[in-house]
Amino acid sequence: MSILSDKHILLGVTGSIAAYKSADLASKLTQAGAEVDVILTGAGEKFVTPLTFQSVTGRRAYLDADLWGSEAHVLHVNLGKAADLLVIAPCTANTIAKLANGISDNLLTITALAATCPLLIAPAMDGGMFDHAATQENLTRLKERGATVIGPAQGHLASGLVGAGRMIEPAEILGHIRIALGRKEKLAGKKVVVTAGGTQEALDPVRVITNHSSGRQGYALAQAALDAGAEVCLITTPTSLTPPIGARVVKVNSAEDMLNAVLNESADALIMAAAAADFRPKNVAKDKMKKRDGIPQIEFEAAPDILKTVADSSVEKKRYRVVVGFAAESQNLLENAREKLQSKNLDFIAANDISANDAGFAVETNRITLLFANGTKEILPLMSKSEAAEKIIEYILKLLE
Ligand code: CTP
């Protein structure tokens, strides 16, 4: 169940060339499980047809003509009442002005007046229009009334100008929609720190020792915590993944950097999903090691154990109320995981068998067993890393309650 799966999104599309990108947004929202009702303004309809939206949402798209149709007297009220969120993307300067002044001269603006749900707008217009004092004042009024304004982004505009005016990309709008919906969820007001990725331990200025961790489970946990309404700090090593919108990202390389970053935060929960190194080269060569100097003999030393340090430092200062670890095991899964649960003083541990080819490193799915400090356990079936993340967040929520 993603945050979007039981949600009703009303998507307003106004007259900007960015309207074609809204079809992608409507498609992404639908794929994530939301019911998407689209309202096109007269100008919006000139850029994209209702059929485009109907094809991706599987639902009727509404036009100004519907304002005068047989259901007209209740349509705007029903659309407005049913919505969990009203998103207007792209939102022109004209529609922003109407919203700011309560003008309701088309189906979208009448519905906006009738709706009681939060409003999120993604402006799109030429740079000069965005900078104009009238637009800025209108946006300020909307923000003061609680609307969320996202963007516009800098870039090339249809007029040929370069400046702020481009609608932000659908993937980013989707991230903001998740945050807006998460505000009412149970972790609102709570903070969660998540670590992700495999650490990199330097051998010399160009070489590192690392592992196969992709960071996917950690990123999915950060997204699940955001969806649950939490403020999220994602401490991550370099990965190919895009951090979820709304997470504060702290970039680290080594286990030592990660330890410092973890000790620099405090939160309701810490989830150590990162694959931190246990060993690191004792000496890091200042210059690149040369082949002509022969095969190097590398001596290792212990890297700091982050969870153990957090457990030990909690004697002076308890930084995290709930601490969750992961155990990546290729043998004796439960026995080893239970030992880590105790030695690292965790509230619970997610044990995964990395010898299975559908679980663990660099795949989309995970098969984990949760072991709790009170001796209980829950065996989760094979599921996506996002679903596993949602489960883990649910348990954190229970422990925080
Ligand atoms: N961990 C940590 N600091 C490290 C290594 C691991 O905090 N230097 C954390 C991991 O993020 C994970 C948990 O400890 O949440 C268990 O990690 P794992 O690699 O499975 O266990 P280790 O303690 O490193 O023991 P081993 O490698 O011998 O199995």
Sign of CA dihedral 64, 68, 73, 78: negative
Q: What is the pLDDT of residue 345?
A: 94
- Report how far residue 25's alpha carbon sits from residue 351's, in angstroms, rounded to the nearest whole number: 36
CA distances from 222 to 173, 246, 258 (A): 17, 9, 16
345 belongs to the catalytic site: no
Residue ranges, the chain, pLDDT below 50: none
Comparing C-alpha atoms, which of 85, 190, 97, 189 is closest to residue 146? 85
Considering 211, 253, 336, 345, which one is annotated as catalytic?
211
Ligand 1 atom having least distance to the Cα of 306: 7
Give the distance (Å) from ligand 1 centre to CA of residue 275: 7
- Report how far residue 359's alpha carbon sits from residue 387's, in angstroms, rounded to the nearest whole number: 13
Q: What is the pLDDT of residue 359?
A: 66
Q: Which residues line ligand 1 (CB under 6 A)?
A: 255, 272, 274, 276-278, 303, 305-307, 325-328, 340, 344
Ligand 1 atom having least distance to the Cα of 274: 11
pLDDT in tens, 364-399: 788 899 999 999 999 999 999 999 999 999 999 999
For ligand 1, mutation pick of 278, 336, 345, 371 (most atoms within 8 Å of CB): 278
Give the distance (Å) from ligand 1 centre to CA of residue 67: 61
Amino acid at 83: A
Structural contact between residues 303 and 279, judged by C-beta atoms closer than 8 angstroms:
yes
Ligand 1 atom having least distance to the Cα of 307: 7
Amino acid at 76: H
Give the distance (Å) from ligand 1 centre to CA of residue 305: 7
- Report how far residue 272's alpha carbon sits from residue 276's, in angstroms, rounded to the nearest whole number: 9
Specify the CATH architecture of the domain 2-182.
Answer: 3-Layer(aba) Sandwich (3.40)
For ligand 1, mutation pick of 236, 272, 354 (most atoms within 8 Å of CB): 272
Give the distance (Å) from ligand 1 centre to CA of residue 191: 23
Q: What are phi and psi of 396, to 5 degrees?
A: -60, -45
- Looking at 3.50.50.60, 3.30.365.10, 3.30.70.120, 3.40.50.10300, the CATH number of the domain 191-400 comes to 3.40.50.10300
User: Whole-model pTM above 0.85?
Assistant: yes
Torsion angle of alpha carbons 336, 339, 341, 345, nearest 10°? -150
pLDDT in tens, 85-119: 999 999 999 999 999 999 999 999 999 999 999 99
For ligand 1, atom 26, which residue shows the shortest CA distance? Answer: 278
Structural contact between residues 141 and 158, judged by C-beta atoms closer than 8 angstroms:
no
For ligand 1, atom 16, which residue shows the shortest CA distance? Answer: 327
- Report how far residue 140's alpha carbon sits from residue 261's, in angstroms, rounded to the nearest whole number: 36
The yes-or-no answer to whether 2-182 and 191-400 have a common fold is: yes
Sign of CA dihedral 174, 176, 181, 186: positive
Peptide bond into 90 cis (omega under 30): yes
Could you tell me the maximum CA-CA distance found in the chain, to the nearest angstrom? Answer: 85
List the chain domain ranges.
2-182, 191-400
Q: What is the pLDDT of residue 163?
A: 82
Give the distance (Å) from ligand 1 centre to CA of residue 97: 55
- Report how far residue 211's alpha carbon sits from residue 275's, in angstroms, rounded to the nearest whole number: 8
Q: What is the pLDDT of residue 73?
A: 64
Q: What is the pLDDT of residue 363?
A: 73
